[in-house]
Structure 1
Amino acid sequence: MIGHPPTFSTKLVRDLAWVIASPPIQSGHIENTYWWDHDKCQNEFQDCLPTLLELDKDPSPLEQHLSQAKSKRLGHRFETLVSYWLSISPNYELIQQNIQIIEDGITYGEIDFIIKEISTGKVIHLEVCVKFYLGTEPYKNPYRWFGTNTKDQLGKKLDHLLTHQSQLSNNHEGYFSHKIDVLKNQQIDERHCFIKGRLFYPEGSKISPEDTTDNHLRGSWIYSNTIQNTDKKYLAINKTLWLSELNYKDIIDLQKNPVEVFKDRAQCYVEIGLDDHDNLKEQRRVFLLPEAFTFPSDNKNPL
């Protein structure tokens, strides 16, 4: 399993499987926070597989759940899929989610999930996110990996998860015992995080940012003017298709109903080819950048 379970016919179920099985970008125990690793996600996938197979036959419960997402933004879609995962996992009980921390009229942030590990009874504060970053020199520096909004950086996001988001339950512990009924007389035993997504490398580069996992998902970025004389085929995709791999039917649908192409901004594409049976298949994910696109200057925290 490489994070793209290919056996599910329904794209939404494939997205859920991707959310569960795909390798995190960072893992390990950092300070007082445990970052989920690939093995843990793979075990979760195997434990959830019977339910995923049933959903592929009838995805209506998942469709209904996704309709409750706070918005259509990719981050909210991801969190909603994570909440469904936690609700079907035999290893966790989902206690509470999207808890705003408001004290003395000040909003300090929002906790993604409070879950209980069934085997140990531990109450866990879990923070999750999905991100897609493009890298530039020096590649080992996580602050040189940018989102399509270049104010969004891998280094910034990891710092925010580690020092702020995951510490909300630690810094505002009294809030739980007084404000949240389901957590009264309980304490947060552990703080966990995972960040999933994909890192896009410039053609020819294999240098990863420091402290990222070896098996994180990868794509490429290239300037759009460099593909004018190539026989490779690319299809633009919108954010709702950024998670799991496209199958033959998805590609045919996309060819019939292409998404709008923007020449003046970075845009995600799939490079398509043929499999052993001459069916269309996704080869890789690629960001095409307009010729005028430039990355911010080499500062740790560019504005």
Structure 2
Amino acid sequence: MQTHTIVNLNLLASLRHQAVRDLAWCCFSSPLLAALPESDAQILPLPDGGHEINQWLTQLDRHPEPLLQSLAQAKSTRLGIYYEHLWRFYFSQHPRWQLLAQNLPVYKGKLTLGAFDFLCKHGDEYWHIETAVKFYLCDTHDPQQANAWHHWLGPNSNDRLDLKLAHLTEHQLPLHQSAEGQALLTKTFPQAKHWHTGLCLQGYLFSPAPPKLSSSDLAQSIPGKYFLRPSHSHTNQGSGFWWYLRDFLALISDCNTATDQHAAADLHWVILEYHQWFSPIELRDEASLQNPLRLSERISQHLLQTQRPLMLAAVKKYDAGDKSTEIVWREHLRAFVVPNEWPHQQTKH
């Protein structure tokens, strides 16, 4: 699989429920950053016993009702809320963690200064943890320029990595160190003498697709040199490419050429719905795969009507590996297709 994560692939292949697969992705996928300069926050997730978590997730996949009931309490279908509720379940159910509070607001008079995403206990340690899931596209082909955080934009270009990290560093993560935050924590949790700071920032980074990559090239293992990295990014961070609509349509058309017939049979593109944006996709129904012409029509219609980028995954055919003759299609590469005018609006500060 081309998405470079530390996800336990054997475990993931054994999980059937989407929500459990997404929870596993939260537990095991690499964070966006290996370090956050000018912050004392520890980068999460912590290495909390892989074998123990594997058993827990496997059991949960057999009986997912507690997780599904917990997720059903979410009052929004936004990805950030879904991500937050996955971590809420983790901190509530994992034997090494205890959830003390979630989204606890901090006030200064009638003014709300912010809210603690999670307040938790881990062993004898108390933790203030901020969580976020993000998807950033690099707007330059230059590897040196790509080091700068401001070159990484959200799909709708209303978000930017440098602005998000500045808000985390200057406002969200130090909230428990403010006078108001300290007063609230002392009043609510007087037994806690010290609070550790944790940041769980996960997601995917997308580089502009090299113009000379063909469909047959994409079907192979793609060299890491093609994936750009912002400063301090994690080496195992999930990666993908992005294409302008016109270029992606040309790539899809290229699948029908004689030289790419083998690649076309080996690699298929599927549109990812919002609820499929986290864990690598796995399909067991070949009927869900669309021919390139129909796929091109759907992508064109979506982008021309909404002017919103679309996430896709390229899947490859594998044996199921569970002593059956079943064929599965597993994610090989993740991608965004963006309008030809992207970025089409000014990034908000």
TM bracket (short chain): 0.7 to 0.9
Identity %: 26
> Among residues 334, 338, 343, which one is paired with 1:285 in the alignment?
334
Q: 1:199 and 1:189 mapped to 2: Cα distance?
A: 31
Contact 2:41–2:173 (Cα < 8 Å) also in 1: no
* Aligned with 2:66 (options 61, 66, 69): 61
* Larger-gyration structure (1/2): 2
Question: Which residue of 85, 92, 103 corresponds with 2:90?
Answer: 85
- Number of paired residues? 291
Report the Cα offset of residue 6 of structure 1: 2.2
State yes or no: 1:143 paired with 2:192.
no
Q: Deviations over 1:116-175 (max 9, x none)?
A: 121xx1111111111000012221111110112313111111121122111111112112
Q: 1:239 to 1:254 in 2, by over 3 A?
A: farther
The whole-number CA distance in structure 2 between the counterparts of 1:61 and 1:117 is 22
8 Å CA contact 1:47–1:90 kept in 2: the answer is no
2:230 to 209, 213, 227: 209
Q: Partners of 1:148 and 1:45 in 2: how far apart?
A: 33
Q: Is the 8 A contact 1:133 1:147 kept in 2?
A: yes
Alignment partner, residue 55 of structure 2: 50
TM-score when scaled to structure 2? 0.76
- Counterpart residue number, 2:183: 174
Distance 1:173 1:245, change over 3 A: same
Structure 1 residue runs without a partner (length 5+): none
Distance 2:308 2:36 in 1: 37
Specify whether residues 251 and 284 from structure 1 end up closer, same or farther in structure 2 by C-alpha distance, changes over 3 A only: farther
TM-score, length of structure 1 as denominator length: 0.87
Which of 240, 243, 248 pairs up with 2:278?
243
- Partner SS, residue 314 of structure 2: strand
Alignment match, 1:218: 239
Q: Any conservation in 2 of the 1:28–1:37 contact (CA below 8 Å)?
A: no
Q: CA deviation at 1:251?
A: 7.0
Structure 1 pair 237/132, CA: closer, same or farther in 2 (3 Å)? same
Secondary structure of the equivalent of 1:25? coil
CA deviation digits over 1:169-209, x for unaligned, max 9?
1112112223x3xx134344211112000001111343311
Q: For the structure 1 residues 216 and 33, does the alpha-carbon distance in structure 2 shift closer, same or farther, using more than 3 Å as the test?
A: same
Superposed CA RMSD in Å reads 2.5
> For the structure 1 residues 294 and 126, does the alpha-carbon distance in structure 2 shift closer, same or farther, using more than 3 Å as the test?
closer
What is the match of residue 217 of structure 2?
none
Higher-RCO chain (CA-CA 8 Å, sequence separation at least 6): 2
In structure 2, the partner of 1:193 is: 199
